[in-house]
Amino acid sequence: MPVGKNRDPVRSTFPIPEGKLRLRKLATAAWSPYTWAPFAATVTAVPFIDASPLVIGSIFLMVAAGVTGFWRLKRKKLSSALLGDLIEESNQVQDRELVLQARNLLRRGYPDYASTLGSFLERKQQIEKAIHGEGKLTREKREIENLVDAVTFGVCDQLVRLANFDDRLTKPKPDAIPISEIQREKINEARREIGKRVHVAFDIIESTWENLADILDPIGILEKEDASHPELDRAIAKLREERAVAQRIRERMETDWGDRFGPAPNISDEEFGEEAGIVSDEC
């Protein structure tokens, strides 16, 4: 079954059929007291209203308009809540199916296969809980859940197939046609391939669980928080440029004029006065 096509709702949660969600919304609105309570109150009050049928009809129209407006305001929130309910129901159906398959494997005498399927189911539940624990349902979350569903049920199919192979090898029926050595070798080869595939699938599920945060949000909080600071960047660049210019000027002066622009000599006040021709008061 192609991932995400939802041809078997037991094996794939998404996409949720639009018709199913629409029917759930209609049923929720119809049975809600926010819908029928205003009409019930109006019907109860009609015998006590001294008005023409036209006025009474107008009152019912206003009540209907008010109820419709209420559900329009609640439409987005209601859709989100009902979508969450449908997802949870789908996951519960999937989990029951996987538990049933694990019990069948255990009943047939294959506790290792049942335990392996249980490990996949546990990781599936953890990933789904993390996906729907917080934040809105993004395309990436739907895709991850579909892929996890596909891997888990694919492994379930392979484990059941492995048990069938083992039955043929170790538990042949009395009236079954004996298998040849060539058939036995082919079955063992198929068993080895299935075992490798299940191990690879488990590694993928484990890696998905361990790296789920990076898969769903590769750049983390930087997606929502801008880490840039243009003014600080410009100031740093300007200071770096000024420092480079000063360094170039200094190197050019030292090259062209030698030590003339080096550090000033340490001359005392008396030596400075003599060199300048300044005579002290004592003279």
- Residues 64/42, Cβ–Cβ less than 8 Å: no
Distance in angstroms (rounded) separating the CA atoms of residues 149 and 98? 11
Would you write out the chain's pLDDT as a tens digit for each of its 283 residues?
Answer: 333 344 566 788 888 878 888 888 888 888 888 888 888 888 888 787 777 888 888 888 888 888 888 888 888 888 888 888 889 899 999 999 999 999 999 999 999 999 999 999 999 999 999 998 877 888 888 999 999 999 999 999 999 999 999 998 887 777 777 888 899 899 999 999 999 999 999 999 999 998 888 887 766 554 455 556 677 777 777 777 777 777 777 777 777 665 555 554 554 545 544 544 444 444 4
Non-local CB neighbours of 227 within 8 Å, separated by 6+ positions: none
- Residues 152/120, Cβ–Cβ less than 8 Å: yes
Helix (H) or strand (E) holding 243: helix 230-257
pLDDT in tens, 14-47: 888 788 888 888 888 888 888 888 888 888 887 8
Strands, E, within 109-261: which ranges? none
Radius of gyration (C-alpha) of the chain in whole angstroms? 40
Distance in angstroms (rounded) separating the CA atoms of residues 121 and 115? 10
- Residues 150/120, Cβ–Cβ less than 8 Å: no
pLDDT in tens, 228-245: 667 777 777 777 777 777
